[in-house]
Amino acid sequence: MTPLLTVSNLSYCKKDKSWFGKNAGFRLDPLSFELKAGETMAIMGENGSGKSLLAKLLVGVERPNAGEILLNGEPLHHKRQRFQAIRMIFQHTKESLNPALTLGSLLEEPLILNTELDSRARKRKIEETLKLVGMLPEHQFFYRHMLSEGQRQRVAVARALILNPQVLVADEPFAALDPSVRSQTVNLLMKLQRDLGLGFIFISHNLGIVRHISDRILVLEEGKLVESGKTDVIFNWPKSDYTQRLIHAYQALISRDA
């Protein structure tokens, strides 16, 4: 079976245009991985290790210098194809939703840009998607400020799901959330993943959640892939220095209460 997403030798080098010759900017060393349908992958690393950059490369905000991204074994030629298949959830939902638009028009925009649906079909699609993430069809007339934090997160998920993507990429989706809202969101994403067979890539600092929902982990350090593997292997037998430090720190936090 061909994996859902294959990334091979993806690399990036930030070009720093300076008047005095070339300045070496941030580099992402070549990395490769595969993601199967219905699988969750977590990306861990320190600040500035290139986690967000990797997410941006996957969704196509930044162009890689070399390497390729294959979806179902085929290269992504058209922009539109990529925009439909790989969708992103942003970190701060509060800022990433436009305050001047109703949720309906917010969700309609990707449909107008990427599909051929007429307005009635679009409306139906919006209502379906809102129901899918556990909200009411009436919510399409609401504005951002009328929603609670958990509902906003749901809208962000709805916006990512509305084009029936195959891969979801999320940059710290749980960081800014309160514990009870966080478990609601985690449950929602896991349920959607089970039902729709999505591939899910997320970035997180919260090792508890990483351990709970991810199948595989990538560890980045200063733009280099340090370690990758199954979740329980990495948590039990971390190899690289950085991962060991991270896991030990986490274990130290937990074990005091035992």
Partner 1 sequence: MPLLDIKNLTLEIDTPLGWIKALDKINLSIDSSEVRALVGESGSGKSLVVKSIVGALPDRWKVTADRMNWKGRDLLSMSDSQRRAITRSEMSVVLQNPATSLDPSATLQEQIEESISDSQLDRGWFWQRRQQRRLIATQQLHKVGIRDHDVCLASYPHQVAEDISQKFALAMALVSNPKLLIADNPTMGMETTTKIQVLRLLAKLNKTRELSILFVSHDLLAISAMADTMTVLYCGQTVESGKMSQLKRRPLHPYTKALLDSAPSFRRDLPPKAALSSLDGTIPTLQHLPIGCRLGPRCPRAQKECVKMPDVRRIHEHYYACHFPLHRDKT
d(CA 146, CA 163): 25
- From residue 52 to residue 81, the character string flagging contacts with partner 1 as x (rule: CB under 8 A) and all else as - is ------------------------------
Residue (31 or 209) nearer to partner 1, CB: 209
| Token pair in block for residue 18 | 């300076």
d(CA 231, CA 219): 11
3-11, 62-70, 143-151, 156-164 -> range binding partner 1 (CB under 8 A): 143-151
* 148 part of the interface to partner 1, by CB under 8 A: yes
Max CA pair span of the chain: 59
* 183 part of the interface to partner 1, by CB under 8 A: yes
DSSP category for residue 116: -
* 175 part of the interface to partner 1, by CB under 8 A: yes
Say whether 148 sits in a helix, a strand or coil.
coil
d(CA 35, CA 8): 12
Q: Are 69 and 44 in contact (CB under 8 A)?
A: no
CB of 107 to partner 1, least distance (A): 21
Residue (2 or 187) nearer to partner 1, CB: 187
d(CA 51, CA 170): 11
Q: Are 160 and 196 in contact (CB under 8 A)?
A: no
Residue (63 or 256) nearer to partner 1, CB: 256
d(CA 79, CA 82): 5
28-36, 64-72, 101-109, 178-186 -> range binding partner 1 (CB under 8 A): 178-186
* 103 part of the interface to partner 1, by CB under 8 A: no
* 250 part of the interface to partner 1, by CB under 8 A: yes
d(CA 176, CA 153): 10
* 90 part of the interface to partner 1, by CB under 8 A: no
Q: Are 10 and 225 in contact (CB under 8 A)?
A: no
CB of 103 to partner 1, least distance (A): 17
**Residues within window 205-224 making contact with partner 1, judged by CB under 8 A:** 205, 207-209, 211-213
CB of 18 to partner 1, least distance (A): 21
* 92 part of the interface to partner 1, by CB under 8 A: no
d(CA 28, CA 145): 38
Residues at the contact surface with partner 1, assessed by CB under 8 A: 46-47, 148-151, 175, 178-184, 186-187, 190-191, 205, 207-209, 211-213, 231, 245-246, 249-250, 252-254, 256-257
